[in-house]
Structure 1
Amino acid sequence: MDKVFEKTRELAMAIMESDAYRTMHEAEQAAMRNPMAASLMSDYLEAKGAVETVLQENDPDPAQLKALSEKMESCQEKLNMLDEVIALSQAREEFSGLISQVNQLLRFIITGQMDEGECSGSCSSCSGCH
Structure 2
Amino acid sequence: MGVIEKARELGEALLADERCIRLQNAKAANDADPELQNLIGEFNLKKFQLNNEFNKKPEEQSKEKIEQYQKELKDIYGKIMATEGMKEYAAAKKDVDELLSHINSIIQMSITGEVDGGGCGGNCSACGGCH
* Bucket of the pairwise TM-score, normalised by the shorter protein: 0.7 to 0.9
Deviations 1:69-128 (Å, cap 9, x if unpaired)?
Answer: 1111111111122111111111111111111111111111111459xxxxx693x33259
**Matched AA of 1:26:** N
For these two proteins, the number of residue pairs brought into alignment is 123
Partners in 2 of 1:31 and 1:76 — Cα distance?
A: 15
The alpha-carbon deviation at position 51 of structure 1 amounts to 2.3
Runs of 4+ in 1 over 6 A off after TM superposition: none
Q: Is the 8 A contact 1:101 1:121 kept in 2?
A: no
| RMSD across aligned positions (CA) | 2.4
Shift in Å, 1:26: 0.2
- Residues 23-75 of structure 1 deviation map (CA, whole Å, 9 limit, x = unaligned): 00001111122221111011111112222232222213322221111111111
TM-score, normalised by the number of residues in structure 2: 0.81
Highest Rg: 1 or 2? Answer: 2
Note closer, same or farther for the CA distance 1:73–1:9 as it changes in structure 2 (3 Å cut). Answer: same
Q: Which residue of the partner structure matches residue 73 of structure 1?
A: 74
Task: Give TM-score scaled by structure 1 length.
Answer: 0.81
Unaligned 5+ segments in structure 1 are 115-119
* CA distance in structure 2 between the aligned counterparts of 1:4 and 1:106, rounded to whole angstroms: 12
Long gaps (5+) in structure 2: none
